[in-house]
Chain A
Amino acid sequence: DQQVKQNSPSLSVQEGRISILNCDYTNSMFDYFLWYKKYPAEGPTFLISISSIKDKNEDGRFTVFLNKSAKHLSLHIVPSQPGDSAVYFCAASEDTDKLIFGTGTRLQVFP
Chain B
Amino acid sequence: EPEVTQTPSHQVTQMGQEVILRCVPISNHLYFYWYRQILGQKVEFLVSFYNNEISEKSEIFDDQFSVERPDGSNFTLKIRSTKLEDSAMYFCASRGSSGQPQHFGDGTRLSIL
| Residues of A bordering B, CB below 8 Å | 32, 34, 36, 41-46, 49, 51, 89, 91, 95-104
Q: Please, how many angstroms separate the alpha-carbon atoms of A46 and B100 in the complex? A: 11
Give A51's nearest chain B residue, CB to CB.
B99
Contact call A97/B55, Cβ cutoff below 8 A: yes
A-B contact pairs, 6 of them (CB 8 A): A43-B106, A46-B103, A91-B43, A96-B101, A97-B55, A97-B56
Give B57's nearest chain A residue, CB to CB.
A98
Contact call B105/A43, Cβ cutoff below 8 A: yes
- Our count of residue pairs bridging A and B at CB distance below 8 angstroms stands at 56
Contacting residues, chain A, for B104 (C-beta < 8 A): 36, 43-46
| Residues of B bordering A, CB below 8 Å | 4, 6, 31, 33, 35, 41-45, 48, 55-56, 58, 91, 93, 95, 98-107
User: Which one of B41, B56, B105, B106 has the greatest number of beta carbons of chain A within 10 Å?
Assistant: B106
Give B45's nearest chain A residue, CB to CB.
A98
Of all A-B residue pairs in the complex, the 10 with the closest CB atoms, nearest first, are A43-B104, A101-B43, A98-B45, A43-B106, A46-B101, A44-B104, A103-B42, A101-B42, A42-B106, A43-B105
Give A5's nearest chain B residue, CB to CB.
B42
Give A42's nearest chain B residue, CB to CB.
B106
Q: Please, how many angstroms separate the alpha-carbon atoms of A98 and B41 in the complex? A: 18
